[in-house]
Structure 1
Amino acid sequence: MADNTLLKYFFSSGAEIDPEGRFNLSRKTRTRRLKEIYSILQKHHFLRGFSPEEFRAMLEDLGPSFVKIGQTLSTRSEILPKAYCDELKKLQMECDPLPFDQMLAALDDIYGERQGDIFDAIDPTPLGSASLAQVHKARLANGDIVAVKIQRPGVKATMALDIDIMRMVARQASRFMKDDQMLDLRDVVEELWATFLEETDFQREAANLQEFARLNKDVAFIDSPHVYPELCGEYVLVMEYIDGIPILVTDRLRAAGYDLEEIGEKILDNYATQILDHGFFHADPHPGNLLIRNGKVVYIDLGIMGRLSPHDRAGFGNIIQAVGMQSATELKSALMSFAIAKDNAAIDHTRFLADLDLLLEDYGSCDVADIDIGMFLNDILMLTRSCKVTLPSSITSVSRGLVTLEGTILPFIPNENVVSIINAHIQRTKDPAEELAGAMEDLALALRSSARGSMDAAQYSGEALKMLTRGQLKVNTEVLGSEAPLSHLGKIVNRLTIGIIIAGLFIGSSMLSLSSMEPRLLGVPVLAFFGYLGAAILSLWVVVDIARKR
């Protein structure tokens, strides 16, 4: 009897998924969470549809994992109508806060008796309340004003359960989605799990803040909060309090004298620096994570960061340059060199190049402001997957970050495009002297290779002429790609042969039927009868075969 993977999942211990046993993933907890999700969906009458406000409220009730999904959807106007996107943007700024007593109890669990020695005062009114954590303004014993980010009690276990359930759904869905052009949902969920582990560990975020500050210390318009690593832990983060203007409050920004277009261009230019130069970039730059203070863009939440190796940075830069040049040949070379796996024998290079040409032509015919970077990157991923070219997983986090950032700064630069700005950044950061030296080196290597090839060609030509004059030259030819036409021709010849046999049987049987040969069956000689029968069977077989293969 075949294994029932659904039952196996629900009756498993969870050890394979959560080997450390930190999140109590078991049949009982999964079933309880599924019942809870179903009751919330029923409460909001999800089968009847819902207004933007009801949709936001439902995601908030479902918990932090679904709030994260709502935050991502809020920047994707091509997926949801504008009214829904506008309502979901509220999830980036505020969620219903937990009572202050619960936050104090959480701090007591973290610091114990040290809490009174660390904090002189904590404001009971939260600065912000997100799906994962709540932030309170506080004053340290030394007088520093800080923001204390406290993870909501129990939220980590709930998110682990939600992703665990998504893993089950992805596993079942993958059994029915065999098309190579479909993304493997299991890989998506595993990436979500890795992101969850990073985002819910505030010690990692503290390290991210320090690394981000180090890499951007010479950038005049980018900043991040100073962190107090000695006070941070897995469930609490203590950092400098930032009194800034939220990036979505454009009226306040204009009143403060800021140029919105300049803000958008600088954010995107620095994001290109993070990806292409540092290889350490903010992977979730939604509006709730950006403030403007003293002429600087301040990233206040660095829980999810992406990392690119030098090889990946160079590969992604080459892809952007090729798109900017509208060159399918350059884009194909960039994708092939960027790939981590490719089966050259299985790749249809002609089709790959033609599809890239059509893709660039399609997007090249759009106005700059109309290009959807999310759709464009998705089309490239689907195309490479269909052509048996596997890109590294880092491309997913880069694509998600760019799509999120595009939705964030779109009101600031409506007439610009992500690809064009990143390409301009690449051109600005190039050293003309190094470019010239590289071009001269490439030219010298090409000339050397050409000269050597010419000398070899002359030598081989002389040897071939000598063999030709002596009658020793033989030519072996192979027609590549001829198997299919030859097979088709063979089928045609077979049908013609059978047709000749049928005609012979009919003519021979007709001639025998005029004779007085005995014995007879149905008025004709037996031999003629079986001749007619054989011809009829062969004729019927040919007709059915032709109809089946039309």
Structure 2
Amino acid sequence: MTERETTYEAPQGEGRDRQPAGQASPAERSVGDSVFHRHERAVDEVPDQPAVIAPGEKYQLSSAGRRWRIGEIFKLLRKYEVWNDITPVRLRCLLEELGPIFVKMGQILANRSEILPQRFCDELRKLRTDVDPVPYTIVRDCLHAEYRRPLSEVFSWIDEEPLGSASLAQVHRARLVTGEDVAVKVQRPGAQQVMAQDIDIMRSIVRLASHFVQTDQFVDLHDVVEELWESFREETNFIMEARNLDDFYEFHLGTKGISCPRPYMKLCTEHVVVMDYVDGVSISDPDALIDAGYSLKQLGSRIVEDYSTQVLDDGFFHADPHAGNIIVKDGVVYFIDLGMVGRMSNHDRLIVKDIIYSVAEGDVPKLKDSLLRFAVSRGDSGALDHAAFLSDLDYIVADFAGLDLKDLDIGEFLTSLVNLARKNDVELPSVVTMFARGMVTLEGLLSEYMPHVNMIQIIRSHIANEKSTYKRLEDGARELSVESLRAARGTLEAAEHIGLATRMLTRGQLKVNTQIMGSEEVLRHVGGIVDRMSMSIVIAGLFIGSSVVYYAKIEPVIFGIPVIGFLGYASALILALGLGREIWRNGHARK
């Protein structure tokens, strides 16, 4: 009996070895072949144990592969003429052609308007991740390498035509030997290696550039690269995605109308995810949803309400809720592709609620306190200019607090808030930027496909309805009592400090140290002026003193010129030239 007959059935009219359209890239073929050969050797040597890869060999990085990849990148840079006034469209196409890591970097930069102009950010939000599929034979070999047993023991049938193909993985429909219809997500061979190589190259470029260009943008780019690395580690480990699916499914067991595909954990590996097959209608096809009898407004409201629950109640949310990741079947909204999720502690969720209410109430000090509670660091020195921070927050509240709910762009608000915190050296945890990016993505989905859904109104209502009136009053009374106790303690401490200061004052032991905030630049400028004036006095003194020595003919004398006078003139000339050069350089720098 042939392998074709014993493993699984091929679809009618399709040969087992037929190769569908789309070829693997040279990088995928070369790296992928080495991966498969290594797996095959491991299978032959240790049939009952998974292959063990040393940490240093995990991504198969080499100097030769690095040089090859750098050469490929430079070819694409020349193709798109990046040095010749690159346009937003050309930048987007370049990133798509460079590969998954560059696409991911573009998606992150799309929300970083402090680094790129807004027109570039708008265009980068259109980045697509769909690519030509790899041949089915490679997918089959990958499954063999992962399961290390005949596929007939796992699947009774696998469709050779992929349901979808992205830059990191592609999905095939299949049927388990137990009869369940499933979707099998298989990681592209070599994708991990290429992505790791690209991040390594990016790190080197940013690290090298930071030595020559000391700007906030390069500091931010360093953070972008590190965010890419963390995202890469999560998205390329499909075990984590399977666990995310399992957690999301458990969280929504009691929720009507919201779910996700159920994973089969025993069949999931680092490079393969097996989950229920859901044949639904994508949110990106509103006409099909309307034809199927769905109300776009009701679907949108349900999605936003559940997303509010994910963020504010569960603390576990889908971090990339774009249209391609949400489908509808039999009245149930399914979130798919949970490779990127955010997790918030109860502490973080309370702060998010405080931030939303602070802006709604125009309470700038409360907004500042909430952000500082969120902060993981406050600059290198730990110092923070609270006056400047409050002033910047005043502008944000002025821009957003006065808007009607229907006009409030919560995605833009959160992005502005993150950018402002970064400007003031207040570093917020990555979950905040992930939440902001998720809200921007969800808001873009609603504005394009469900424009009549008011997201901020639903979120505000969700928070307001979260507790009963009695519970809110109880919490308010508890908070008031805590604040009153804190104020009373502060008053007692202040009285004690005043008494101590009074005793020190009567004994002549009180000293006052005054610091004028924001005056450092002025003081440096005044110090420079004083230094130049002092040097001018020294030069004038040398010139006058040398003239006195010259006319007094103080010995020793050479060629009729007193040596001391000559040295004084020479010193005055050198100092005057140096002072003039310094004044010219400072004036030129200001221009």
Query: Does the alignment reach a TM-score above 0.5?
Result: yes
Counterpart of 2:470 in structure 1 is: 433
- Aligned residue for 1:381? 418
Report whether the alignment pairs 1:352 with 2:400. no
Look up the match of 2:184: 148
Aligned-partner Cα distance in 2 for 1:328–1:461 = 29
Deviation larger for 340-349 or 202-211: 340-349
The alignment-based identity, stated in percent, is 42
Q: Identify if the C-alpha distance between structure 1 residues 517 and 282 changes in structure 2 by more than 3 Å, giving closer, same or farther.
A: closer
1:114 aligns with 150
Structure 1 residue 232 corresponds to structure 2 residue 284: no
1:481 to 509, 516, 526: 516
Query: CA separation in 2, counterparts of 1:74 and 1:542?
Result: 48
Q: 2:67 maps to which residue?
A: 31
| Worse-superposed segment, 224-233 or 307-316 | 307-316
Q: Which amino acid aligns with 2:395?
A: L
Q: State TM-score, norm by structure 1.
A: 0.76
Structure 2 distance, partners of 1:432, 1:335, is 27
- Partners of 1:327 and 1:543 lie apart in 2 by 52
Counterpart residue identity of residue 124, structure 1: E
Aligned to 1:442: 479
Give deviations 1:311-343, integer Å, cap 9, x for gaps: 333333322332333322111111111112236
1:542 and 1:426, CA in 2 relative to 1: closer, same or farther beyond 3 A? Answer: same
Aligned with 1:390 (options 427, 452, 455): 427
Contact kept, 8 Å, 2:318 with 2:438, in 1: the verdict is yes
CA deviation after TM superposition for structure 1 residue 38, in Å:
3.5
SS of the residue aligned with 2:161? strand
Structure 1: distance between partners of 2:369 and 2:199? 37
**Contact 1:247 1:291 survives alignment (8 Å):** yes
The C-alpha deviation readout for 1:274-301, integer Å capped at 9, x for no partner, is 2222222212222221111122221121
Does the 8 A contact of 2:88 with 2:119 survive in 1?
Answer: no
> Per-residue CA shift, 1:478-511, capped at 9, x if unaligned?
544298789988999999999999999999xxxx
**Distance in structure 2 (CA, Å) of the matches to 1:367 and 1:79:** 26
Partners of 1:51 and 1:543 lie apart in 2 by: 45
Q: What is the RMSD of the two structures over their aligned residues, measured on CA atoms?
A: 4.9
Match of 2:329 in 1: 293
Corresponding residue of 1:335: 371
After the TM superposition, which residues 238-257 of structure 1 pair with which residues of structure 2 at under 5 Å, given as runs? 238-257=274-293
Q: How does 1:27-426 map to 2 (within 5 A)?
A: 27-40=63-76, 61-68=97-104, 78-80=118-120, 88=127, 91-92=128-129, 94-180=130-216, 183-342=219-378, 346-364=383-401, 373=410, 375-414=412-451, 421-426=458-463
SS at match of 2:270: coil
Pick closer, same or farther for the CA change 1:58–1:499 going to 2, 3 Å.
closer
Deviations, residues 14-72 of structure 1 (Å, cap 9, x unaligned): xxxx9431111111111122223344555677778999998877655533334545677
Alpha-carbon offset, residue 462 of structure 1:
9.8
- Specify whether residues 112 and 57 from structure 1 end up closer, same or farther in structure 2 by C-alpha distance, changes over 3 A only: farther
Unaligned runs of at least 5 residues, structure 2? 1-53, 545-550, 555-561
Give the alignment's TM-score, normalised by structure 2: 0.72
The 1:263–1:491 alpha-carbon spacing in structure 2 relative to 1, beyond 3 Å, is same
Contact 1:67 1:131 in 2 (8 A): no
1:365 to partner: Cα distance: 6.0
2:455 and 2:516 map into 1 onto residues whose CA distance is 42
Deviation of 1:364 (Å): 4.4
Q: Which runs of 5+ in 1 are unaligned?
A: 1-17, 508-515, 520-525
Residues 45 and 358 of structure 1: CA distance in aligned 2, closer, same or farther (over 3 Å): closer
Q: Is the 8 A contact 1:263 1:412 kept in 2?
A: no
Deviations 1:156-194 (A, max 9, x none): 222222222222222223323433475443332232222
In structure 2, do the counterparts of structure 1 residues 73 and 260 end up closer, same or farther at CA, with 3 Å as the change threshold? farther
How far the C-alpha of 1:476 sits from its partner, in A, is 5.4
Q: Tell me if the contact between 1:68 and 1:131 (Cα under 8 Å) persists in the aligned partners.
A: no
In structure 1, what is the Cα distance between the partners aligned to 2:194 and 2:527?
Answer: 64
- Provide Cα deviations, 1:496-550, integer angstroms capped at 9, x if missing partner: 999999999999xxxxxxxx9999xxxxxx9xx99xx99x999999999988888
Aligned partner of residue 217 in structure 1, secondary structure: coil
